[in-house]
Amino acid sequence: MALLLVAQILYFEGYRLTMQPQLRAHLDKVCATLSCRLPPYRNLEELSVSHSDLRVRSDSSYLFSAVLSNQAPFAQAAPDLKLSVLNFNGQAIAERVFSSAEYLLKPTTLAPEQTVEIRLFVVAPAAPIGGYTFTLL
């Protein structure tokens, strides 16, 4: 009966359990022994952005830049990035989601304590830009 309970917990909660930092190191060791693979670690709360900027370029396009750091003790998949360009009333006039493959050359995984610079060139929208927001997805 206990074995059935453990099997159900692993089946229904397995992915969530693999994302727990306290369990991840132990699960990595178990999987190394059993020749299994855990899903890529992913915890947006352990990513930090030290600064971001959106600047107009001489050709009237824009350059978005940010510095992203993985604070996790494990390598984790680089997140997608949603960039929203706002008008002067704070309303979005353009939005786009960039995959990690679009802002990282190689690889799309961030090592523990790794910091990367993000640089994205953005075509200027027809309306004047009053600001921007970006979200890690």
Q: Is the pTM of this model over 0.85?
A: no
Distances in Å between the Cα of 62 and the Cα atoms of 70, 103, 125 are 26, 15, 10
| Model pLDDT, residue 48 | 94
Are the CB atoms for 69 and 48 separated by under 8 Å? yes
| Model pLDDT, residue 8 | 63
Q: Flag residues of the chain having pLDDT under 50.
A: none
| Model pLDDT, residue 5 | 62
Are the CB atoms for 97 and 66 separated by under 8 Å? no
Q: DSSP assignment of 109-130, as one string?
A: EEPTT-EEEEEEEEPPPSSPP-
| Model pLDDT, residue 42 | 85
